[in-house]
Amino acid sequence: MFARFRRKRLHPVLRDLVRETVLTPKDFIYPLFIRSGEGIRNEVASMPGVFQMSIDEAIKECETLKALGLKSVILFGIPDVKDSVGSDALCEHGIIATAVREMKAAHPDMLIVTDLCFCEYTDHGHCGVLNPALQTVDNDITLQNLAKQAVVHAKAGADMIAPSGMMDGMIMAIREGLDEAGFSHIPIMSYSTKFASAYYGPFRDVAESAPSFGDRRSYQMDPANRREAILESLEDEREGADILMVKPALAYLDIIRDIREASDLPLAVYNVSGEYSMLKMAGRAGVIDYERVMMETLLGFKRAGADIIISYHAKEAAELL
Ligand code: PBG
Ligand code: ZN
């Protein structure tokens, strides 16, 4: 007998009417990896469909994205030269500052978000300046550099700054830096709850940012900690973050829900490289129906409480929506 639940599932139009969560292309931010040169589109073996691009190619890519209804990108830079402090990231002629200026000139209507960190720019691959005695990132010196980097991005025309380094006090330092330089109108989307995750593996191939020694566990969070995950995001809210984030997404749906309930700020999730590659590789192996598993996964992030989804799947998802 069709009773209380099944009778609402019988007619497809009624199923549409009672659907509680709906994905749209407007939910997504698409990551782009920018390097110097011209006409470059290097596909990365561990992330099929994801490319390192030169700025001219990124500008072309934005046409494709807009045609799909995707209007936001987050930029990661691969500099020609790395050094101990990550100077390229602090320079107005560095790869990201240059990319933002040129992309903004070509596509003033796109929302250009910049990832703010140093791991792609340092020769040791850590997310800031090292403290030799502690053999890890020096928090407070790195804060000063993060504020400088944010101003460089804002001057270049970035629409939103997304700090991912998990330094204590980073939102306050960046907010002050931006405000003092006349950029009080630029929002900060904080990677507020970011775990020390093995799911970042493929990203480090694309961004060429694997640490040359040790790991990131002295600044990124322990995957075991739920209460601390909430505290981290609430602290960033207090320091002035405009949007919070949970990263990675798939193994942390509980945390997305927890932060959704603890804060009224908009919440982003980062559906990271390893999550993307798992589905891609399983799809290629014929083990899963890639498109359906992808859509179900993305829907799960939104149902868990995310407003914004940063995902390498964004183009493929938008094509299906
Ligand atoms: C840099 C940064 C990382 C990612 C986004 N920004 C990697 C890291 O912390 O090593 C990961 C994104 C992904 O895996 O897709 N701090
Ligand atoms: Zn980093």
Q: Residue 1: its pLDDT value, please? A: 73
What does the pLDDT profile of the chain (321 residues) look like in tens digits?
Answer: 778 889 999 999 999 999 999 999 999 999 999 999 999 999 999 999 999 999 999 999 999 999 999 999 999 999 999 999 999 999 999 999 999 999 999 999 999 999 999 999 999 999 999 999 988 999 999 999 999 999 999 999 999 999 999 999 999 999 999 999 999 999 999 999 999 999 999 999 898 889 999 999 999 999 999 999 999 999 999 999 999 999 999 999 999 999 999 999 999 999 999 999 999 999 999 999 999 999 999 999 999 999 999 999 999 999 999
Q: Which of 247, 280, 302, 315 is catalytic?
A: 247
Query: How many A from CA of 8 to the centre of ligand 1?
Result: 42
Other beta carbons within 10 Å of 286: 8
* Residue 191 within any structural domain of the chain: yes
Closest protein CA for atom 12 of ligand 1: 272
* Residue 11 within any structural domain of the chain: no
Burial (Cβ within 10 Å: 0-12, 13-18, ≥19) of residue 5:
exposed
Q: Residue 28: its pLDDT value, please? A: 98
* Residue 177 within any structural domain of the chain: yes
What's the total number of domains in the chain? 1
Strands (E) across 88-141 are located at: 111-116, 130-131, 136-137
Give Rg (Cα) of the chain: 20
- Look up the pTM and report it: 0.97
Pocket test for ligand 1, best of 203, 310, 311 (most atoms within 8 A of CB): 203
Pocket test for ligand 1, best of 74, 142, 145, 200 (most atoms within 8 A of CB): 200
* Residue 233 within any structural domain of the chain: yes
Identify whether 280 is a catalytic site residue. no
CATH number for position 176: 3.20.20.70
Q: Residue 4: its pLDDT value, please? A: 85
Q: For residue 273, give the ligand 1 atom closest to its CA.
A: 15
* Residue 16 within any structural domain of the chain: no
* Residue 186 within any structural domain of the chain: yes
* Residue 29 within any structural domain of the chain: yes
Q: Residue 95: its pLDDT value, please? A: 98
Identify whether 194 is a catalytic site residue. yes
Separation of alpha carbons 93 and 30, rounded Å: 24
Is 271's C-beta closer than 6 angstroms to any atom of ligand 1?
Answer: no
* Residue 65 within any structural domain of the chain: yes
- Domain housing 256: 21-320
List for the chain the helix, strand, coil content (%; round to 5): 45, 20, 35
Closest protein CA for atom 14 of ligand 1: 200
Would the CA dihedral through 11, 12, 16, 21 be positive or negative?
positive
